[in-house]
Structure 1
Amino acid sequence: MSIPFVDLKAQYASIKSDIDLAIAGVINNTSFIGGPIVTEFEEAFADYLGIDHCVGCANGTDAIEIALQALGVGAGDEVIVPANSWISTAEAVNAVGAEPVFVDYLENEYTLDPALTELAITNKTKAIIPVHLYGLPARMPELLKVAQTHQLKIVEDCAQAHGARIADQKVGTFGDIATFSFYPGKNLGAYGDAGGIVTSDRLLAQRCRMIGNHGQLSKHDHRILGRNSRLDTLQAAILKAKLPFLEQWVRQRNQVAQWYGQYLNKSVTRQITPDGYRHVYHLYVIRTAKRAHLMNALDKSNIGYSVHYPTPLPFIEAYAYQNKSEEDFPVASKLADEIISLPIFPEMTEKQVQTVAEIVNKFK
């Protein structure tokens, strides 16, 4: 049985009429940049999260960079970033002229360690970027206390966590500002690049919108120096059509995760979800000391997988200038050699999960 890592065709097939209608509407109206559809999606997504403002932009990387710029982060500042994340989290910090300070993460949860975060704070620290990695919320109550104690800003990176929550509060609503990626493979994905910024601060939202639209609120009224990073109408229409299905897809992902929990050997190490936290399983990540052997077996069986991420950010070539060692990040260093992401998508069947689990159990 061939099993893909993610199956976007299956998702499209399940909502084909909604998507086709949304795309056709944009083409028929020839409104490709801006307009009411973009506004309608922004308002709908903000309402879904329970927050006041959503500003669409071109992609999730721009979202982080614009958020930092709107907060006034720049040259001479430091921003705390998890040692394990996609490079966007860190490179956005460099892009505004600041310096990322990498911090190790909690071994069982794979999210930013609040205690180590506090130890990394200096008089240059301006903000913290918790990443809700793989779909699990970071320890926001603890991180908020750290930020409040030291008067720091929090930028939540929610790129992998649409709909995740702690108790009844969704991620994206804890910090000063939060960012989302709508890359096609995300839990809420467009059919191209797309991103969003959310906040309850009206003036902060207004500044983000100006930065992403050439510094203007209305045409030719350039109040600041900005850039071109807008959510195009076609992607907004697709996201607006998909949004009503997001909760259903989250439930289905949790069902797949439950099947993995049922069929995987109990000795297989996986990400731990704290009580009261809702994981949305953008990725289903396990650990094994026999990863190379497992990957080979999955390849032979035509089963998709990935490694998120093979090299901790402090050790990639782009950050070699920081001269960090494995001793500085013992958890990230250890897990980098063991983590592997198994197939997970809403349409995945119990039989498919059983098939994957049978192979994994041989390499626990």
Structure 2
Amino acid sequence: MNISVYKPSIKRKEMDAVLNCMVSDRIGFGKSASQLVKDLSDYLGLKGGHAFKEYYRAIKTAVNGLGLEKGDAVIVSALAPNLYVMVLEEAGLEPLIADVDQDSSLIDIELIESAAEDAKAIIVNYEMGFVPDMERISETGLTVIEDISMALGARIEENKAGTFSRFTVINMDEDGLITTGGGAAVLASSRKDVSILNEIANGFHPSVFLPDMNASLGIVQLKHLEEYLESRDEIADIFTKSLMRSKHKKLIQKDEAVNVNYSFPVVLETGIHEVSAYARKKNVLTESAFSGSVAAYSEEVQSNCPNAKKLLMRCVNFPLYPMLGKSNIAVISRVLSSLP
């Protein structure tokens, strides 16, 4: 049996929570969805927000909440999800695409600083769970949206990722650090911005909000997040030692921030196809790490952002999640140590 790239950490206690929700007839949006938003806000130290069925809706709500004028520019990483460019353009805003640091995949901080005068805001994605220099980004004076979908639980000293912005977006699809079986949340750092989100959300049909049945799964998962993150760290240590026997390298956290091991991204000396084919023969599935990024959808961006292009062409994700099990961890370790 193949080892999948992603697998949600769903155990009996999570399923029991969903079943209890179904038995109580609370399947649609209601109490559990509101509780999940509160739990996420309490965990991060934020003030509240909303949970939706779609990642797109959460991004759109955050962007609209900034109150920017048509034509205003927003800085976006070349390796951010392409959904961000789609939402910005739909809002009449101008995406300014910035290249990345080739060792971490994070947006290049010096490019942010040089472009800050021409922009009103910035989308900060914690790519592959790595933590950007939020202190320097904050010093630019740009309005910030953080997307911590891959870094829920990451820290910068005593501050959690997601606490440096007006709005924070968290994707909770099946490949998320916590999953609701699809959906996303947008949270605000101030009461004023919660009111702005409420005003926007009041214009939505109830069907766009996250159902209680899905939210109940996320509530239980969030309670065990720290346990899951610790497990991911232990597996990452094993994989890192194995990879050191090969000619390839992994993306790294460059400073003392505590990143999250969302997956195991390997930067290859050879092409993705050869390595992926080799791993598949050993029943280990892989995935191009940035196949859904801005750069993946634009040759112009690839031309202007050489580091992003390199990672698009050479960075592959190997499976790393708490539900792997010892035997699968051993299989992946052997593959990593013997990659062509």
- What is the Cα-based RMSD across aligned positions, in Å? 2.2
What's the counterpart of residue 109 of structure 1? 104
Describe the SS at the equivalent of 1:4: coil
Cα distance in 1 between the residues matched to 2:239 and 2:78? 27
Describe the SS at the equivalent of 1:121: helix
Whether 2:125 is the aligned partner of 1:131: answer yes
Per-residue deviation, residues 152-200 of structure 1 (Å, max 9, x unmatched): 2100011211111111211111112111111111011112x21111122
Worse overlay, 349-358 or 156-165: 349-358
What's the counterpart of residue 210 of structure 1? 199
1:303 to 268, 272, 284: 284
Cα distance in 2 between the residues matched to 1:189 and 1:301? 28
CA 1:212 to 1:198, structure 2 compared with 1: closer, same or farther past 3 Å?
A: same
Cα distance in 2 between the residues matched to 1:312 and 1:37? 32
The answer as to whether partners of 2:287 and 2:318 remain within 8 angstroms in 1 is: yes
What's the counterpart of residue 249 of structure 1? 228
**C-alpha deviation, 1:139, in angstroms:** 1.8
Describe the SS at the equivalent of 2:179: coil
Cα distance in 2 between the residues matched to 1:285 and 1:182? 20
The answer as to whether partners of 1:214 and 1:227 remain within 8 angstroms in 2 is: no
What's the counterpart of residue 27 of structure 2? 32
- TM-score of the aligned structures, taking structure 2 as reference length: 0.91
Cα distance in 2 between the residues matched to 1:115 and 1:87? 22
Structure 1, unmatched stretches of 5+, are 216-225
What's the counterpart of residue 223 of structure 1? none
Whether 2:16 is the aligned partner of 1:21: answer yes
Taking the TM superposition and a 5 Å limit, the aligned residue runs for 1:1-364 are 2-8=2-8, 11-12=9-10, 15-16=11-12, 18-123=13-118, 125-146=119-140, 148=141, 152-191=142-181, 193-214=182-203, 229-265=208-244, 267-290=247-270, 291-310=272-291, 313-314=294-295, 316=297, 323-324=300-301, 326=303, 328-363=304-339
Query: Which one has more relative contact order, counting CA pairs under 8 Å at least 6 apart?
Result: 2
**C-alpha deviation, 1:294, in angstroms:** 1.1
Cα distance in 1 between the residues matched to 2:281 and 2:105? 29
Q: Match of 2:242, as an amino acid?
A: Y
Total equivalences in the alignment: 338
Q: Match of 2:257, as an amino acid?
A: Y
CA 1:67 to 1:296, structure 2 compared with 1: closer, same or farther past 3 Å?
A: same
**C-alpha deviation, 1:227, in angstroms:** 8.8
The answer as to whether partners of 2:75 and 2:122 remain within 8 angstroms in 1 is: yes
The answer as to whether partners of 2:295 and 2:308 remain within 8 angstroms in 1 is: no
Structure 2, unmatched stretches of 5+, are none
The answer as to whether partners of 1:294 and 1:360 remain within 8 angstroms in 2 is: no
CA 1:236 to 1:213, structure 2 compared with 1: closer, same or farther past 3 Å?
A: farther
CA 1:325 to 1:281, structure 2 compared with 1: closer, same or farther past 3 Å?
A: closer
**C-alpha deviation, 1:265, in angstroms:** 2.1
What's the counterpart of residue 221 of structure 1? none
What's the counterpart of residue 219 of structure 1? none
Q: Match of 2:225, as an amino acid?
A: L
Cα distance in 1 between the residues matched to 2:262 and 2:322? 10
Identity within the alignment, %? 20
- TM-score of the aligned structures, taking structure 1 as reference length: 0.86
The answer as to whether partners of 2:126 and 2:150 remain within 8 angstroms in 1 is: yes
Per-residue deviation, residues 45-89 of structure 1 (Å, max 9, x unmatched): 111112222322222221121011011124211111000122122
Cα distance in 1 between the residues matched to 2:2 and 2:15? 28
Describe the SS at the equivalent of 2:120: strand
